[in-house]
């Protein structure tokens, strides 16, 4: 009796909440991913949605495979995001921020899953800490000046020469002129 782990209520409740979030997210990705496949789009979303749905159900049941499946899906998501964004900051943020937050939750809740007694949770805690630092650094970095886009192929535009006259009152083009460098005369 003494070698049995104590089953605390917080474990069931926290994994239930996490499992419901994973399941709902997975079903949304699965539905959207199937629609995207029918339209000839990315093959990533439907399998990722299925994996998250299964992970969510297993997490609700407190099966360790639920957390491990989510973490495997997260690794695949990171590889997919890097392959599609070519290390561009904003696409990576939109592709990885929410999955990273969920990965931190899964890693921190590893002790709540029904693993065999005597398992060490040091590695998941370290991984959760590293991911959390990455999330914080990304959040802070997102509000810093990254770069200023300047035209390179057309020296006339770079100097301001060759800019068309402002558009009429209808403001039919973005930025008030064909080059997008003027404000609306309506403001």
Q: pLDDT tens for residues 127-179?
A: 999 999 999 998 888 887 766 666 566 555 555 555 555 555 665 666 666 66
pTM > 0.85: yes or no = no
Closest among 106, 101, 99, 56 to 78, alpha carbons compared: 99
Residue-wise pLDDT for 62-95, tens only, equals 999 999 999 999 999 999 999 998 888 888 888 9
CA distance 51 to 48: 5
Q: Residue 172 region, left (φ>0) first, then alpha (ψ -120 to 50), else beta?
A: alpha
Side-chain half-sphere exposure of 40, counting CA atoms within 13 A:
0
Q: Kindly state the helix (H) or strand (E) to which residue 186 belongs, with its residue range.
A: none
């Amino acid at each position: 009796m003494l070698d049995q782990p104590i089953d605390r209520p917080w474990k069931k409740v926290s994994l239930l909440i996490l499992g419901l979030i994973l399941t709902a997210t997975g079903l949304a990705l699965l539905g959207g991913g199937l629609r995207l496949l029918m339209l000839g789009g990315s093959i990533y979303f439907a399998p990722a949605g299925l994996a998250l749905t299964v992970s969510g159900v297993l997490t609700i049941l407190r099966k360790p495979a639920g957390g491990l499946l989510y973490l495997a899906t997260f690794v695949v998501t990171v590889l997919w995001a890097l392959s599609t964004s070519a290390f561009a900051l904003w696409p990576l943020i939109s592709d990885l921020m929410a999955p990273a937050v969920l990965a931190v939750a899964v890693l921190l809740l590893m002790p709540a899953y029904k693993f065999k007694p005597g398992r060490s949770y040091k590695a998941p805690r370290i991984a959760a800490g590293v991911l959390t630092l990455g999330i914080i650094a990304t959040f802070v970095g997102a509000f810093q000046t990254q770069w200023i886009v300047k035209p390179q192929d057309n020296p006339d535009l770079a100097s301001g020469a060759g800019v068309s006259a402002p558009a009429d009152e209808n403001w039919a083009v973005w930025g008030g002129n064909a080059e997008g460098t003027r404000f609306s005369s309506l403001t």
